[in-house]
Amino acid sequence: MNRPRIRVDHHIPWGIEGFDGLGDVVPYDAADLRKDPSILADADVLACRSVTRVDASLLAAAPRLVAVATPVVGLDHVICEDIRAAQRQRGHPIQVFNAPGSTAAGVADWVVAAILHALPEVTDPHRLKVGIWGFGNCGRALAARLARLGMRFVAYDPPQETRTAGAFQSAALEDLWQCDVVSLHVPLTEARDTRWPTRGMIDRGVFRALASGDVRLLCNSARGPVVEGAALQAHLASGLAPALAVDVWEGEPTPDPSVVAATRIATAHVAGSVLEGRRKAVAKVREDVRRLLHLPRTPFPAQPAGGFDRPPPFAVPPHPRPDDIRGGILAAVPLDEWTRTFRAAYVRAPLAERAEAFEAARRAGLRREIRWGRLRPAD
């Protein structure tokens, strides 16, 4: 391959800087790419965010593509069947690189903030119990923070128990109904791929179980489609507990505005939007591309030259109490402000302007990680 041509979404923080030196970097806007995929005609590498659907139509417009580098956690925007079909047709691999775990700290901070925001009456952390549905990178990061705060938790993840041959022991599903909060941290999976598919797993039956149990808050910072749409609408119409804190939406970047309007906490896919995590994600996929292209190793430091463009936020003290840290955490993760501004810009926006309103709210959520000091790994 001659000098590779790398197309980089210009909204990826440090994306252009990260890929510069690996080839000829050409920035693009995701909205322009949706309108005209032919801008990828000469691309060898595509660096994209989760707003870009990598499917057969996009791949057809990118005949030279050898790699998709997406500095995000999930890959549900990448249609693996279409990648495999394109590989068979072209006779060469198309590598897909992502960055699992890179933004787990930010996601966990968002959930802690949602708990403190939605349940202000909880002053004794030992009285609060959180059910963590999915115990991967984000679930474990949340558990470590809850343990630091003195909050109890149970973790439900049968696939993890199977993968670890029982080294991790999952709680029973019914144990979640006895929690005050349930937080979702699962990938989006299909019935054809696993015994435990997550698409639509929060259905009417689950909502009934949540409402009949002790659950007062359901947090979704995983993927929008893990909650079945009709069941969500019915739950919101019922007015029953639990309240909803939602950061990810079915149909992004144009979710149903009535759902955005009705949830207790509504943010535009910002939970993982932390500068430290974004840079780690770019560094990870950049290194993957460098190895693929057999280029010399070049440094990409954990912080940009001169540091990040804003100071670190609140630092959690060694022995925190909810009343002592609530203000600091909610200043660092301002859910009330984000909810108001997202709704104001999105709910009444004309259909043609909703995607941009969603993207603007998402960009506004970029922040620093909360400083927790040394956290003990969750069991």
The domain ranges of the chain are 5-98, 104-273+316-363
What percentage of residues in the chain have a pLDDT greater than 70?
A: 99
Residue 379: what pLDDT?
A: 60
Q: Can you name the residues that pair with 245 across neighbouring β-strands?
A: 219, 265
What CATH number matches the domain at 5-98, 3.40.50.720, 1.10.10.10, 3.40.50.2300, 3.40.50.1370?
A: 3.40.50.720
Question: Whole-angstrom Cα distance, residue 45 to residue 292?
Answer: 11
Q: Is 235 in the active site?
A: no
Its sign, for the CA torsion 319, 321, 327, 329, is positive
User: pLDDT by residue (tens digit) across 250-278?
Assistant: 999 999 999 999 999 999 999 999 999 99
Query: Would you say the CATH fold of 104-273+316-363 matches that of 5-98?
Result: yes
Residue 323 has pLDDT above 90, yes or no: no
Q: Does residue 239 sit in helix, strand or coil?
A: coil
Tell the burial category of 142 from Cβ atoms under 10 Å away from its Cβ (0-12, 13-18, 19+): buried
Q: What are phi and psi of 367, to 5 degrees?
A: -155, 180
Residue 195 has pLDDT above 90, yes or no: yes
What percentage of residues in the chain have a pLDDT greater than 90?
A: 91
The number of angstroms, rounded, from the C-alpha of 355 to the middle of its chain's C-alpha atoms is: 18
Q: Provide DSSP, 245-275.
A: EES--TTTTS--HHHHHHSSEE-SS-TT-BH
Residue 376: what pLDDT?
A: 80
Q: Is 269 in the active site?
A: yes
Cα separations (Å) of 230 from 209, 269, 354?
A: 16, 21, 21
Which residue of the set 223, 235, 278, 286 is catalytic? 223
Cα separations (Å) of 352 from 127, 346, 358?
A: 46, 11, 12
Q: Does residue 285 sit in helix, strand or coil?
A: helix
Question: Whole-angstrom Cα distance, residue 116 to residue 243?
Answer: 13
Q: Which CATH architecture has domain 104-273+316-363?
A: 3-Layer(aba) Sandwich (3.40)
pTM (predicted TM-score): 0.92
User: pLDDT by residue (tens digit) across 104-158?
Assistant: 999 999 999 999 999 998 888 999 999 999 999 999 999 999 999 999 999 999 9
Residue 74: what pLDDT?
A: 87
Question: Whole-angstrom Cα distance, residue 61 to residue 42?
Answer: 9
Question: Whole-angstrom Cα distance, residue 127 to residue 156?
Answer: 20
Question: Whole-angstrom Cα distance, residue 82 to residue 88?
Answer: 10
Which residue of the set 7, 269, 354, 368 is catalytic? 269
For the sheet with 243-246, list strands across it: 152-156, 129-133, 181-184, 217-220, 243-246, 265-266
Residue 217 has pLDDT above 70, yes or no: yes
Residue 162 has pLDDT above 80, yes or no: yes
User: pLDDT by residue (tens digit) across 342-372?
Assistant: 999 999 999 999 999 999 999 999 999 999 9
Residue 1: what pLDDT?
A: 59
CA count, 13 A, side-chain hemisphere, 280: 17
Residue 260: what pLDDT?
A: 98
Maximum CA pair distance of the chain?
A: 63
User: pLDDT by residue (tens digit) across 24-54?
Assistant: 999 999 999 999 999 999 999 999 999 999 9
Question: Whole-angstrom Cα distance, residue 80 to residue 218?
Answer: 30
Computed over every residue of the chain, the mean pLDDT equals 95
Q: How far apart are the first and last CA of the chain?
A: 46
Which residue of the set 252, 276, 359, 369 is catalytic? 252
Q: Is 10 in the active site?
A: no
Residue 319: what pLDDT?
A: 87
